[in-house]
Amino acid sequence: MGKLRFSITMSLDGFVAGPEQSVKNPLGVDGMRLHTWAFELAAWRRMHGLEGGETNPSSQVVEASLANVGAVVMGRNMFGGHPGPWGDGAWKGWWGEDPPFHAPVFVVTHHPRAPLAMQGGTTFTFVTAGIEAALELAVSAAAGRDVVLGGGASVVRQYLAAGLVDEVGVSLVPVLLGSGERLFEGLGEAGLTLEQVRAIEAPGVTHLGYRVVK
């Protein structure tokens, strides 16, 4: 069985998204500033079907995050669209007809919906039975490879609190958002023990890696 892992970018004051997240502004006010370190990387651009780009110490981190991925789990907020029932003309995600996952994606939601097959090997399956049911489906689909938590922060917190995560990657950027959504909010009583296994300095970011001690 593979690992359950996630990688996420965080501001220096602990936020992974800015305030006032919306369909028009999915990362909230100033949230895009968190990810500027990645946008010009060749590894990131390839993932999104773009050419060119640069290579620096962040490249190995991005490439490692994409390696051995058999399935993805994400929350409704990460998949996006309006809250509540899906309705007519249902939202198909932020990524267009060819999402960058190229693997089965399981979306944790309260509202049922038929699976959504996209180009490039991505199929979104909507799971209403909770995080453990979504993980069970993802592990089966991954067939021994890793399952990646795609976010957002709420669903990642749920998996951390349940003790189901194996590896944590935090890319820390010198940005102060002041408010927004904190990744580790309310997890002080979860009894998590993290062992640092990586610290990589790169332009505009420091990549930290942790193993969750079970």
| Averaged pLDDT for residues 176-185 | 94
Query: Per-residue pLDDT tens for 61-77?
Result: 999 999 999 999 999 98
pLDDT of residue 23: 80
- Encoding tokens for residue 145? 């490879």
**Which residue has tokens 């795609």?**
150
Bigger pLDDT: 106 vs 152: 106
Q: How many domains does the chain have?
A: 1
pLDDT of residue 1 exceeding 80? no
pLDDT band for 213, please (50, 70, 90 cuts).
Answer: very high
Query: Per-residue pLDDT tens for 118-143?
Result: 999 999 999 999 999 999 999 999 99
pLDDT of residue 88 exceeding 90? no
| Residues in the chain, total | 214
Selection from 153, 162, 137 nearest residue 77 by Cα: 153
Instruction: Specify the CATH number for the domain of residue 118.
Output: 3.40.430.10
pLDDT of residue 113: 94
Least confident of 14-18, 48-52, 152-156, 181-185: 48-52
CA distances, 181 to each of 5, 9, 21, 27, 40 (Å): 20, 12, 9, 10, 25
**Which residue has tokens 């990586």?**
198
pLDDT band for 48, please (50, 70, 90 cuts).
Answer: confident
Query: Per-residue pLDDT tens for 181-197?
Result: 999 999 988 889 999 99
- Domain carrying residue 32: 4-84+92-212
